[in-house]
Chain A
Amino acid sequence: DQQVKQNSPSLSVQEGRISILNCDYTNSMFDYFLWYKKYPAEGPTFLISISSIKDKNEDGRFTVFLNKSAKHLSLHIVPSQPGDSAVYFCAASANFGNEKLTFGTGTRLTIIP
């Protein structure tokens, strides 16, 4: 039972344009959501998070949007840069981050120079 889903295994975006990565979840107990960036043979690097009491959180080029009624979140990266090329995982947790993380399947983002 995949409780967190990323339906796009890959995405290619032109440098300078906006990258939008999507994530859906099914467990209504999740109240804290995170995005991680990962390179091969390395641990995930935290990018940005959002609590269920908000619908938007912004940090520099990264913005996460949460639609609780649709159980959907998205990560916007603008402008996209070549260094953004990596695999992006969304993750969800209950108890405002104090519980284990459930990860999505990942989306490989490729930024085209």
Chain B
Amino acid sequence: GAVVSQHPSWVICKSGTSVKIECRSLDFQATTMFWYRQFPKQSLMLMATSNEGSKATYEQGVEKDKFLINHASLTLSTLTVTSAHPEDSSFYICSAPLPGGNQPQHFGDGTRLSIL
């Protein structure tokens, strides 16, 4: 069964709207979660690393004021796309590694965000 839950799976909204995406680890604690973005026919690109109890670490070129990340608890990280515009339309996916070393990251089912 799924070990990482992501919600919502699909969002359509008007330009200028802020959208929040939730990522939950199921039955395990994740001090670190990762947020990726995938544009059509491209690979997954890491946006930021979400750290419980501290600020997120953003990859180069990702605007931290536009993509707000909050790791509220050991099982929940949220990504808020603020004042979304059509160019933010993409597939957003979160992941969390199982505890311990040499453990794979498991991914949520992703959120398809469409900005009109």
Point out residues on A near B: beta carbons under 8 Å: 32, 34, 36, 41-46, 49, 51, 89, 93, 95-98, 100-106
Give which listed residue, B49, B104, B112, contacts A49 with CB less than 8 A: B104
Task: Give me 10 other A-B pairs in contact (C-beta within 8 A), A41-B91, A43-B107, A46-B107 excluded.
Answer: A34-B104, A36-B107, A41-B110, A44-B44, A46-B105, A49-B102, A89-B44, A96-B101, A104-B43, A106-B43
Q: CA A91 – CA B43 in complex, angstroms?
A: 10
Cβ–Cβ contact A96 & B110, under 8 A: no
- For chain B, the count of residues having a C-beta within 8 Å of the partner chain is 25
Closest to A100 in B: B46
Question: B-side interface residues toward A, CB under 8 Å?
Answer: 4, 6, 32, 34, 42-46, 49, 91, 93, 95, 97, 101-110, 112
Complex contact B97–A44 (CB within 8 A): no
Contact A51 B43 (CB under 8 A): no
Residues of chain B within 8 A (CB-CB) of A45 are 107
Say whether A97 contacts B109, CB under 8 Å.
Answer: no
CB distance A51 to B6 under 8 Å? no
The 6 closest A-B pairs by CB, nearest first: A43-B107, A96-B101, A46-B104, A103-B44, A43-B110, A103-B43
Chain A residue numbers with a CB within 8 Å of B109 are 42-43
| Cα of A104 to Cα of B43 in the assembled complex, Å | 7
